[in-house]
Amino acid sequence: MAARVLWAVRWRMQPLAVHAASESRGWLHPFSTATQRTAGEDCNSEDPPDELRPSLAERALKLKAVKLEKEVQDLTVRYQRAVADSENIRRRTQRCVEDAKIFGIQSFCKDLVEVADILEKTTECISEETEPADQKLTLEKIFRGLSLLEAKLKSVFAKHGLEKMTPIGDKYDPHEHELICHVPAGVGVQPGTVAFVRQDGYKLHGRTIRLAQVEVAVESQRRL
């Protein structure tokens, strides 16, 4: 009986002895608290928790935001350059328009100077010192001067697109004619047409710049 009790005590004390021997040698039981704590500390020291790691979606959003910011900066610079170029073009255009207003008739004025020269030479033929015997010769010079002046004026007008209207016989047009009065329609004159021109009208490149003052033929004898 005593032997059986002694054997039971030894059997229960054996695991404790093995555990004590393991601690004395530096071994840790795989299920001990120290082993679990050390393993947890090692995991925490190597990798952060999953909730602290940026997800792939967040990384993609950050990259996209950086790309969009660069595009915005590039578009802003291009817009500023376009505004500056537009302003420069506007200023140059305005300057050209102003120059055109001032010097647009430069060529026309240059041709008119030649007409003025002819007129001046013609008027020099008339003077108070002209002898009566020379009046005929003077009149001939004046006539030639005036004829030359008229021819030169017609040439200048044609060169610059200025055309004199000849509306006699044409149908009355309020856009080209200024009605002065009505006259009885004569032989060969159709009612409603221009019978007489009191003042010539002119067109510049096809646009009427001065209406012709006209008298229009009617069937009645009444004048306005």
pLDDT at site 223:
47
Of 174, 161, 154, 160, nearest to 216 (Cα)?
A: 174
pLDDT tens, residue by residue, 2-50: 555 555 556 555 555 555 555 555 544 444 444 444 444 444 545 555 5
Nearest-angstrom CA–CA distance, 71 and 77? 10
Confidence of residue 186 (pLDDT cuts 50, 70, 90): confident
Question: Domains of the chain, with CATH numbers?
Answer: 59-160 (3.90.20), 162-218 (2.30.22.10)
pLDDT > 70: percent of the chain: 69
pLDDT tens, residue by residue, 141-164: 888 888 888 899 999 999 989 999
Q: Is the pTM higher than 0.85?
A: no
